[in-house]
């Protein structure tokens, strides 16, 4: 009748994320996607270190899903022009490195993907200080 709750803290975190998503503007949503991809990539790295191969595969799949179906899917190619196309290519590269890291148990591939995601997130955070960018992002999507 009721689903068993494996972890009350997981349920609390899920509610917190859902609440954050509903209240967030588009700029904040992209930051949340970066955070999720970074956490999943870090989980893959940890799982590789501990030789937990099933967890590594799940974490890589989650990171690739966030990058592909979140970050890349949110690009506006008509408004973003060349930059959007370059970001799409970079997101494809990040996914390729994640998949290579998974296939070859390569910690350097995971570290590179995490580094690239971190740099992109930092750049996205920097433009948050520009009111014209933030207000434009809330009206275009």
Banded pLDDT at 136 (limits 50, 70, 90)? low
Residue 54, burial from CB neighbour count under 10 angstroms (0-12, 13-18, 19+)? exposed
pLDDT digit string, tens, across residues 20-55: 545 568 889 999 999 999 999 999 999 999 999 999
Least confident of 11-15, 65-69, 101-105: 11-15
Q: H or E element: which one contains 79?
A: helix 77-104
The pLDDT assigned to 115 comes to 98
Domain boundaries, the chain: 25-140
How many C-beta atoms lie closer than 10 Å to residue 116's C-beta?
17
Residues in the chain: 141
Q: 113: exposed, middle or buried (C-beta count within 10 Å: 0-12, 13-18, 19+)? A: buried
pTM as predicted? 0.78
Instruction: Determine the pLDDT at residue 87.
Output: 97
Signed CA dihedral, 110, 112, 117, 118: sign only: positive
Judge whether residue 16 has pLDDT over 70. Answer: no
pLDDT at 138 over 80: no
Write out the CATH class of domain 25-140. Answer: mainly alpha
Of residues 14 and 118, the one with the higher pLDDT is: 118
C-alpha–C-alpha distance, residues 58 and 48, integer Å:
12
pLDDT of residue 27: 87
Place of tokens 């999720």: 36
77-134 pLDDT, tens per residue? 999 999 999 999 999 999 999 999 999 999 999 999 999 999 999 999 998 766 655 5
Separation in Å, CA 91 to CA 58, 64, 132: 19, 9, 25
Q: Is the pLDDT of residue 72 over 70?
A: yes
Task: Select from 133, 116, 112 the least CA-distant residue to 27.
Answer: 133
């Amino acid at each position: 009748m009721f689903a068993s709750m494996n972890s009350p803290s997981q349920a609390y975190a899920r509610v917190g994320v859902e609440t954050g998503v509903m209240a967030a503007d588009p700029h904040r949503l992209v930051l949340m996607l970066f955070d999720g991809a970074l956490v999943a990539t870090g989980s893959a790295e940890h799982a590789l270190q501990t030789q937990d191969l099933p967890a590594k595969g799940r974490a890589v799949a989650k990171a690739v899903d966030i990058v592909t179906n979140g970050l890349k899917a949110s690009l506006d190619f008509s408004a973003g022009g060349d930059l959007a196309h370059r970001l799409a290519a970079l997101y494809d590269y990040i996914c390729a490195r994640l998949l290579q890291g998974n296939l070859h148990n390569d910690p350097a591939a995971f570290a590179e993907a995490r580094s690239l995601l971190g740099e992109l997130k930092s750049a996205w955070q920097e433009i948050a200080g520009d009111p014209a960018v933030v207000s434009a992002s809330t009206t275009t999507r």
